Amino acid sequence: MIVTKVGARRGTDGSWLHARSRQEIIDAVHDNLRNLGLDALQVVNLRLGGLAAPEDEPFEEPLSALAELKQQGLVQHIGLSTVSSRQLVEAQAITEIVCIQNLYNVAQRGDDPFIDDLATQGIGYVPYFPLGGFSPLQSAALDTAAASLQATPMQVALAWLLHRAANILLIPGTSSVGHLRENIAAATLQLPPETIAELDKIATAVSRAM
């Protein structure tokens, strides 16, 4: 299944800028259709918020535009990226939402209640920055777990996410075939209960340090 994202564009300096007007959403979807050679996009995520956290901002115009494209058969399903639970409720008054893409990992677990609520609704949760993103996680507990399992810290972080909830879907960055195989192997990595318990302590330690 191919999932694309709209709602932002690159500035001339490489920065990310909002692109959320009705026309920008329509143009982005048609660009994706043309570039991917498809008649319809399976899932399109609307990017809101900042790089790491939701922002209280209006989104009716871009989401309504996506809903219209869905009615036209150009989009099959719609998701949201970097949103709060309250924004999800507002969005669901406009159209069905099938997935949420937010910042979440073993150290940053602010979305724990949100993930559980989404699971009861049958909505997928897609965490990004599994190792912290722009501020990579430095954790002795993660390194120890990786060494004991003969795995990499990234594989352990991904395996922990898969263990966290059945509705979690992973999108780890992949830069080579070898990296792809390494990421896939994380799906078969078994984490012992004691290892999970130690990893669960990371978020508490990080919050105390902040």
Q: Residue 145's pLDDT is what?
A: 93
Per-residue pLDDT band at 195 (split at 50, 70, 90)? very high
Edge-to-edge strands of the sheet including 41-47?
3-6, 41-47, 75-81, 99-103, 124-128
The answer, yes or no, to whether residue 63 has pLDDT greater than 60, is: yes
Most confident of 51-65, 68-82, 195-209: 68-82
Is the Cβ–Cβ distance between 147 and 96 less than 8 Å?
no
Which tokens hold the place of 87?
């924004």
CB neighbours of residue 153 within 10 Å? 20
The answer, yes or no, to whether residue 209 has pLDDT greater than 60, is: no
The topology under which CATH files domain 1-103 is: TIM Barrel (3.20.20)
pTM: 0.91
Give me the residues paired with residue 78 across strands: 44
Place of tokens 């996009």: 41
58 CA to centre of own chain: 21
For residue 53, which amino acid is it?
A: A
Provide the b/e sequence for 101-121 (b: ≥16 CB within 10 Å): bbbbbbbbbebeebbeebeee
Domain boundaries, the chain: 1-103
Q: Residue 204's pLDDT is what?
A: 76
Distance CA 126, CA 3 (A): 11
- pLDDT, tens only, 22-50: 999 999 999 999 999 999 999 999 999 88
